[in-house]
Structure 1
Amino acid sequence: MRALISVSDKSGIVEFSKKLVDLGVEIVSTGGTAKKLIESGVPVIGISEVTGFPECLDGRVKTLHPNIHAGLLAIRGNEEHMKQIKELDVTPIDLVVVNLYPFKATIMKDNVTREDAIENIDIGGPTMLRSAAKNYGDVAVVVDPADYEGVLKELEENKEVSADTKFYLSSKVFEHTAAYDTLIANYMRKERKVEELPETLTMTFEKVQDMRYGENPHQKAAFYKEVNKQKGYLANAEQLHGKELSFNNINDTNGALELVKEFDEPTVVACKHANPCGVGSADKLIDAYKKAYAADPVSIYGGIVVVNREIDAETAAEINKIFIEIVVAPSYTEEAIEILKSKKNIRILKLENINEKQPDDAYDLKKVGGGLLVQTIDSKLLSEEGIKVVTERKPSDKEMEDLLFAWKIVKYAKSNGISIAKDKQSLGVGPGQVSRIWAAKQAADHAVEHLGKESLEGSALASDAFFPFADSIEVAVESGIKAIIQPGGSIRDEEVIKACNDAGIAMVFTGMRHFKH
C-alpha cells in the first residue's frame, strides 16, 4: 500500500505517518512535509524519485505529473488501466493525505498584499485531492487531520478503508475544494472592486454551532459565519454566561445589533422578535437603559438588550430587575458581570468593536423556494441630497434631532413600520403591519399605554415608506405629534403636505425608503 502525504497543516502528521509505516504503508512525500517526516525518523520516498523530475519553480511544480495522477486515477478493477500503468511503471497510490496552502489565513492578515495572497493559492494540492476523490472506490483521501484517527482504526482492524468511509472522505474533499476556490474567487472579486452582482454567486460560510432546532422545534438549524476580517458581527461575540443561543435568539439579536450601530452616544436597544421595542440614548448608560425600558416595559420582558458602551454595576442591577434573555455589550465591569450572572438563564455576550458597521458592498440574502434573493445591505440612512423640508413650518433643531432618532429606529422595524420618538427615547413602534395607518395607530397606542398621552405632545414620527393617504396624518394630529419624517414620493404627496400644513406639523422628506421585510 502506498500513501502520498503533502500537508500545510502538519498537526498530527508525524504520529499518523509513523503508524502508517507500522502498518506496512510506503510513504511518498514532498517539500516541507518530507523534510519534517525524515527529521522525525519516518522513512520517505521523495516525490522526485516517483516523477523522475525535480521540484521546480520554488516548489510550484512538484506533483503535477502523470506518474502521480495515473497512480491516483487508475481504476483497479479495470484491466486496461492496470495494464497501462504497469507498462508505464507507475505504482498505484492508495491513500492521499493532503491539505492546502493557507489561503484563508493569508487573506485574514492585516495589510496582506495581492502578491502574497496569490502566492498562497494551491494548485497541486487541489488537483491531487480531486483526482483521489474522483477515484474514491480505490483511493482513500484525507483532507482533515480530524479524520486521521478513524482511517487508522479501519486500517488496523480491516487492513483497508471501508467503501462508506472512502465515499465520506471523497465528499468532504469536494466540499473543501469548493470552499477554497470560492474564497479565492471572492477575494479576487473584491480586489477588482466589482460593483455589479455576479452572474454566478458562490459563497462560503463556516459552521459556528449546531442548534437544537430552528424557528420551530421540528426544523433543523445551524449557525454559520462568513469568512472575512470584519469585526463587530454577532458571529464574533464571546459568550460569557448562559446556555447556547437558539436560532431565534441569533436572528432577533442581530436586528438589535444593527440598530445600535446607528448611534454614537450611549444607547440601549431593546428588541423582541427582531423588532425594536424600546430605544434610549443619554449621556450615561443607566439613563439610556431606563428610557429604553420605560418605552415598553411589557415587551422588553424576555427580550434582548444590546448596548454600545461598557455595562457598569448600576446598569447591570437595573437590567436584572426583570427577566432579560440576552445582553450584548462591548465590555462589562467585573462587578457588572457578577451581578448579571446571578440570573441563571440570562445569556451574556461580549462583542468588541460593536460599533463597526458592515461594508456597503456586503450582501443581504433571502432564500425563496428554488432561488435566492440577493441585494447589497441597506447601509445608508439618508439620500445624498439629504433632508428636504416640504411644509410651511420648518422643524426646530430639537424636532430635527427627534426626527433623526425616530428615523434610525424605523429603519430597523419590519414594514409597514412607524416609530415615534422624543428626547432621545422611542415612545412607540408599530412594526410589520399590512396597513400604514394601523402601524401609526399601534405606535401611538403603545406610547399612550406605557408613557401616557402627554408623552406624545411635541413628538416626532417616522415612516419607513411614503404615506399613500393623509389618514396617518390624522393619527399624528390627534396624538399631538409636531414633526414627521418620511421618504416622500407618493402620488398624494401634496394631499399629505396640505394635511400637515393645516395642522401646523413640520414634515421632511428623506428621498430614501427603508422597507424591511
Structure 2
Amino acid sequence: MTLALLSVWDKTGILDLARALTAKNIGILSSGGTAKALREAGIPAKDVSDYTGFPEMMDGRVKTLHPKVHGGLLGRRGTDDAVMAKHGIEEIDILCVNLYPFEEMSKKDLPLEELIEFVDIGGPAMIRAASKNYKDVAVLTDPADYPMAIEAIKNGGFTPEQKLRLATKAFTRTAAYDSAISNYLNGIGKEFPDVYTVQFANGRKLRYGENPHQLAAVYGTSGIAGQSALQGKEMSYNNYLDVHAAVSLCRELEGFATVIVKHNNPCGVAVGKTQLESYLKARDVDPVSAYGSVVAMSTPVDIDIAKEICSTFVEVLIAPSFSDEAREMMKKKENMRLLILPPDVPADEIRTIDGGVLVQRTPAYTEDWKVVSKRAPTPDEVEALKLAWKVVKYAKSNAIIYANKTETVGIGVGQMNRVDSAKIGIQKAAEFGRTMAGTVIGSDAFLPFADTLEVAAAAGATALIQPGGSIRDNEVLAKADELGIAMVFTGTRHFRH
C-alpha cells in the first residue's frame, strides 16, 4: 500500500488513522477541511488539486471528480497498469470518506436551495468506485472501523474478507444516503413521499417466525429491535412482537406500572404504590394467561419482584434496570429473557400486504374528552376511564376493557362484534372472582347499538369511554342516561388489527 485518500465531514478518529498511514510511509491525498485538519496536526498531506492539476471550483462542488482520482480507485491491478501509467494515475489503495450530513440537515426545515448544498456528489462517487474495485481498494465510511483499519495498516494490509465487508458496508451507506434524499424530495409538500424507501441494519436470523415452519429475522439498531437479552434463550419473533406491545403501553402509564401481554394483547395492566404491588395486581387480573407471558415494568426490578417472577413462568421481563440481587435470583430461570427498557424510537408503522406496504403515522394524542351524559363521571371514575382508554388502545379490535383506577378488571378483545368482547371481559373477571361493580368501560370504537352498554351496566359498570360517531349515538346516550351511566366521547378511535 502506497497511497490513501482521506476526505471526511465527520473528523472523528481521522488523525489517528492518518498517523498510522504516515507511520507506514503511506502517502495521503486530501482536500478542503480534512487537509486543513491534517496539516494543523502536523501530518503531511498532498492536496487533491495539486495531484490532479485542477483547482477546487464551483464553491467546492468539484474537487475529486477527476480521472486521476477515479482511475486510481477503479484501476485494476495487473489489468489497467499500462493505461494508468500513460496518464499519470497513481494507485489509491485506501479511501476514507464520510458524507455531507444530509439526513441531519433535512430535519432543520432549511430552504431547498440551502439544503441541496448538503447533497454530497464527490463522496458517493468515490465510495462507489472504490467499492466496485474492492479487491484492490479498502474503503472506509464509518469511524467505528478505523481501529480495525489501523491494525490492518500496521500488519501490512487488509484481508480480502475485510475489503469485501468494508465495500458491502460502503454500498449500504450510499444506498441509505440516496434513500434519504429521495424520500425528502419525493415528500416535498406531501405527508408521505411518492416513493418510500427505508433501510434497517443489524439483521439477525431468528430461530423461526410466528410458527416453526416460517423463516424470520429481526433488523434494527435501536429501541426494542436493537436489544439483546441479558440472559435467557434467544429472543423469538413472537417475543419481539409481544415486547413491543407491552412496552408501548407501559410507556404511557405513570408511576409504578406493569403491563402483561400474551399473544400481542394485554392480559393484565396495573399501577400501584410500589412496583411489586403493580406486578401482583396485573398478574392477578388473569393469572392463567399471565403464565408464559411477556412482562414490562416502568421502574427497576429488585429482589422482591424477582422472587415473585421466579415463582411462575415468564417468557420475557423488560424493565429499566435490574438490581444485582435480582439478576442473581433470576439466573435460576435460565430460559427467561431479561431486557433493558430502551428509549422510545418514534417511527412510521410499516406493514406488508400483497404487492406493497401500508405506512401509518400516529400523531401525538391530544385529549379532547366531552362528557355527553347527564351524569358526569366522578373523580375516581375519571382516573379509571383514563386507564381503560390507554389500555384499549393496545388491545386487538373489537376491544372492551373493564377497569378501576389502578388496574384492569376484565379484558375482552379480538372479537368480530363488540358485545361479545363485553361479555368475554365479564366472564374472564368472574373466572378469577373479580367483581365488575363500580368498574368503567373503555371501548376502542363507537358503540353501534346500546347492547354493549346494557351488558356492561348489568354487570355493575358505571361509566364508559368511547370515540363516539355512530349514527345511533343518541340511542346509546339515551340508554346511558336511563341506566345512570356516565359517558365520555373522545373523538378518537383506537382500532388495532
Per the TM superposition, whether the score is higher than 0.5 is yes
Cα distance in 1 for residues equivalent to 2:44 and 2:337: 52
Cα distance in 1 for residues equivalent to 2:354 and 2:20: 45
Match of 2:129?
131
Q: Deviations over 1:426-468 (max 9, x none)?
A: 112122222222211211111111233xx10121111101122
Aligned 8 A contact 1:103 1:117 in 2: no
Aligned 8 A contact 2:103 2:177 in 1: no
Corresponding letter in the other structure for 1:489: G
**2:382 matches 1:400:** yes
Cα distance change of structure 1 residues 167 and 223 upon mapping to structure 2, 3 Å threshold: closer
Q: Per the alignment, in what secondary structure is the counterpart of residue 129 of structure 2?
A: helix
Cα distance change of structure 1 residues 38 and 281 upon mapping to structure 2, 3 Å threshold: closer
**2:198 matches 1:215:** no
Q: CA shift at 1:260, angstroms?
A: 1.1
Match of 2:98?
100
- 2:286 counterpart (283, 296, 300): 296
**2:233 matches 1:243:** yes
Match of 1:229?
none
Q: Per the alignment, in what secondary structure is the counterpart of residue 288 of structure 2?
A: coil
Corresponding letter in the other structure for 1:416: N
Cα distance change of structure 1 residues 352 and 200 upon mapping to structure 2, 3 Å threshold: closer
Q: CA shift at 1:501, angstroms?
A: 2.8
Cα distance in 2 for residues equivalent to 1:348 and 1:119: 46
Cα distance in 2 for residues equivalent to 1:11 and 1:296: 60
Cα distance change of structure 1 residues 142 and 75 upon mapping to structure 2, 3 Å threshold: closer
Q: Per the alignment, in what secondary structure is the counterpart of residue 95 of structure 2?
A: strand
- 2:439 counterpart (459, 466, 479): 459
Corresponding letter in the other structure for 1:100: N
TM-score (norm 2): 0.80
Matches within 5 A, 1:36-115: 47-53=48-54, 62-72=63-73, 89-91=87-89, 93=91, 95=93, 97-101=95-99, 103=101
Cα distance in 1 for residues equivalent to 2:380 and 2:448: 27
Aligned 8 A contact 1:136 1:167 in 2: no
**2:450 matches 1:470:** yes
Cα distance change of structure 1 residues 242 and 15 upon mapping to structure 2, 3 Å threshold: farther
Match of 2:191?
196
- 1:224 counterpart (220, 234, 258): 220
Q: Deviations over 1:254-304 (max 9, x none)?
A: 111111111112111111122111001122222211110110101111111
Cα distance change of structure 1 residues 435 and 198 upon mapping to structure 2, 3 Å threshold: same
Cα distance change of structure 1 residues 183 and 11 upon mapping to structure 2, 3 Å threshold: farther
Q: Deviations over 1:111-130 (max 9, x none)?
A: 99989999987543212122
**2:310 matches 1:320:** yes
Corresponding letter in the other structure for 1:260: C
Q: Per the alignment, in what secondary structure is the counterpart of residue 432 of structure 2?
A: helix
Q: Deviations over 1:14-50 (max 9, x none)?
A: 79969998xxxx866325988999999x998763453
Cα distance in 2 for residues equivalent to 1:167 and 1:327: 39
Cα distance change of structure 1 residues 137 and 402 upon mapping to structure 2, 3 Å threshold: closer
Q: CA shift at 1:156, angstroms?
A: 8.8
Match of 1:175?
172
Cα distance change of structure 1 residues 236 and 91 upon mapping to structure 2, 3 Å threshold: closer
Q: Per the alignment, in what secondary structure is the counterpart of residue 241 of structure 1?
A: coil
Cα distance in 1 for residues equivalent to 2:91 and 2:208: 43
Cα distance change of structure 1 residues 136 and 369 upon mapping to structure 2, 3 Å threshold: farther
Q: CA shift at 1:319, angstroms?
A: 2.1
Q: Deviations over 1:69-98 (max 9, x none)?
A: 35556799999x987x777x2427475533
Q: Deviations over 1:359-380 (max 9, x none)?
A: 5xx4121121221211212641
Corresponding letter in the other structure for 1:253: V
Matches within 5 A, 1:261-272: 261-272=251-262
Match of 1:424?
406
Aligned 8 A contact 1:142 1:148 in 2: no
Match of 2:396?
414
Cα distance in 1 for residues equivalent to 2:460 and 2:234: 45
Cα distance change of structure 1 residues 114 and 271 upon mapping to structure 2, 3 Å threshold: same
Q: Per the alignment, in what secondary structure is the counterpart of residue 68 of structure 2?
A: helix
Aligned 8 A contact 2:7 2:97 in 1: yes
Q: CA shift at 1:337, angstroms?
A: 2.8
Match of 1:252?
242
Cα distance in 1 for residues equivalent to 2:260 and 2:215: 27
Q: Per the alignment, in what secondary structure is the counterpart of residue 211 of structure 2?
A: coil
Q: Per the alignment, in what secondary structure is the counterpart of residue 225 of structure 1?
A: coil
Corresponding letter in the other structure for 1:482: T
- 2:467 counterpart (482, 487, 490): 487
**2:337 matches 1:368:** no
Corresponding letter in the other structure for 2:350: L
Q: CA shift at 1:132, angstroms?
A: 4.0
Cα distance change of structure 1 residues 166 and 114 upon mapping to structure 2, 3 Å threshold: same
TM-score (norm 1): 0.77
* CA RMSD, Structure 1 to Structure 2 (Å): 4.5
Q: Per the alignment, in what secondary structure is the counterpart of residue 176 of structure 1?
A: helix
Aligned 8 A contact 1:98 1:125 in 2: no
Cα distance in 1 for residues equivalent to 2:104 and 2:118: 7
Aligned 8 A contact 1:277 1:295 in 2: yes
Corresponding letter in the other structure for 1:245: M
Q: 63-72 vs 488-497, which deviates more?
A: 63-72
Aligned 8 A contact 1:74 1:82 in 2: no
Q: CA shift at 1:421, angstroms?
A: 0.6
Q: CA shift at 1:216, angstroms?
A: 2.8
Aligned 8 A contact 2:401 2:412 in 1: yes
Match of 1:273?
263
Q: Per the alignment, in what secondary structure is the counterpart of residue 219 of structure 2?
A: strand
Matches within 5 A, 1:432-447: 432-447=414-429
Corresponding letter in the other structure for 2:403: A
Aligned 8 A contact 2:184 2:193 in 1: no
Q: CA shift at 1:181, angstroms?
A: 3.6
Q: Per the alignment, in what secondary structure is the counterpart of residue 357 of structure 2?
A: strand
Q: Per the alignment, in what secondary structure is the counterpart of residue 287 of structure 2?
A: coil
Aligned 8 A contact 1:295 1:428 in 2: yes
Q: Deviations over 1:219-271 (max 9, x none)?
A: 13123136xxxxxx324657433233222211111111111111112111111
Q: 437-446 vs 62-71, which deviates more?
A: 62-71
Aligned 8 A contact 2:291 2:314 in 1: yes
Corresponding letter in the other structure for 2:209: G
- 1:306 counterpart (284, 296, 300): 296
- Percent identical pairs in the alignment equals 38
Cα distance change of structure 1 residues 171 and 261 upon mapping to structure 2, 3 Å threshold: closer
Cα distance change of structure 1 residues 484 and 112 upon mapping to structure 2, 3 Å threshold: closer
